[in-house]
Amino acid sequence: MTAIIEAHGLTKRFGATTALDGVSFSVEPGRIVGLIGPNGAGKTTAIKSILGLTPFSGELKVLGLDPRSQRDELMREVCFMADVAVLPRWLRVRQALDFCTGVHPRFVRARAEEFLRKTDIRMDSRVRELSKGMVTQLHLALILAIDARLLVLDEPTLGLDLLYRRAFYDTLLNDYFDKDRTILLTTHQVEEVENLFTDVIFISRGHITLSSAVEALGGRYLQLTVAAEQAGPARALKPFYEREVFGRIAMFFEGRSAAQLAPLGDLRTPSIADLFVATMQGTMKS
């Protein structure tokens, strides 16, 4: 099957600043991809390009379509949710359902109603009367009811408490995701969702610093923890990043074999969050 998203030399400039500098990546179907980067790295710009919300240069195909010229067609099969604040405050729950039913050929109203029945949200409530968590539930209900091939989530749980965040991702994984669907997700709370991802793309200053399937990370990156006084031999193998943790030193290696590192200390596959920090710090040291 062909890629869901295919970007080649994707570039976006705002005046003198370059938000995306010739970025290339691809997203395969049936994956959950984390697009991870610090603020201002170009995450949102990349997402806006994918959704045809902003002009760009370079080559970009989403579901085989060009988001610049075929946006209307594209949005039938792509679903998008930015952070919780985008549902208009005057909208009533019933109106939201009416509207989606009236404009979206792939919206299955019964599915949204079924999900809403499990919440405290009432049909005649306005968005402004709902708590932040409930607004997210409402938006999630709308998304679950849309039979889309690609779901793009941009900081969907920003400002929510832990319980709502957890419930959000559980619902997404259990009730929505399947092999025909692809999810592209940006978030600041990497630690919380890293078990969700099948793929990660790290982005920094408009460049992609890492793009890999999660299961391939272990073979490529290793985290070695050694006592401070025994750091010398490990350091000789050129870790690209190291940091001190409770008097011991955690070193991050790329492309070293486990057999080579294992005798020197405690070896493990780094978590995505650690790896993210390591690659960001590594590239930012310059």
Residues near another protein (CB under 8 A): 44, 48, 51, 53-55, 71-73, 75-76, 79-83, 85-92, 95, 98-105, 107-111, 139, 147, 149, 180
3-state secondary structure 192-261: HHCCCCCEEEEEECCEEEEEEEHHHHHHHEEEEEEEHHHHHHHHCCCCCEEEEECCEEEEEEECCCHHHH
Instruction: Provide, rounded to whole angstroms, the least separation between the CB of residue 55 and another protein.
Output: 6
Four-residue CA torsion sign, 262, 263, 266, 272: negative
Nearer to another protein, 184 or 261 (CB): 184
Dihedral angle sign, alpha carbons of residues 64, 69, 71, 73: negative
Write down the H helix ranges in the chain: 43-50, 71-74, 93-103, 109-117, 132-144, 162-171, 190-193, 214-220, 231-235, 258-261, 272-284
8 vs 89 by CB, closer to another protein = 89
In whole angstroms, give the CA distance from residue 224 to residue 257: 12
CB of 89 to another protein, least distance (A): 7
Structure tokens at 69: 């010229």
Q: How far is the CB of 16 from another protein (least distance, A)?
A: 16
Q: Which is nearer to another protein, 9 or 88 (CB)?
A: 88
Please say which residue, 100 or 184, places its beta carbon nearer to another protein: 100
Min dist CB 33 to another protein, Å, is: 18
Length of the chain: 286
Count of C-beta atoms within a 10 Å radius of residue 244: 10
Residue closer to another protein, measured from CB, 103 or 236: 103
Nearer to another protein, 89 or 238 (CB): 89
Taking the CA atoms of 102, 105, 106 and 110 in sequence, report the sign of the dihedral they define: positive
CB of 180 to another protein, least distance (A): 7
Least separation in angstroms between CB 142 and another protein: 9
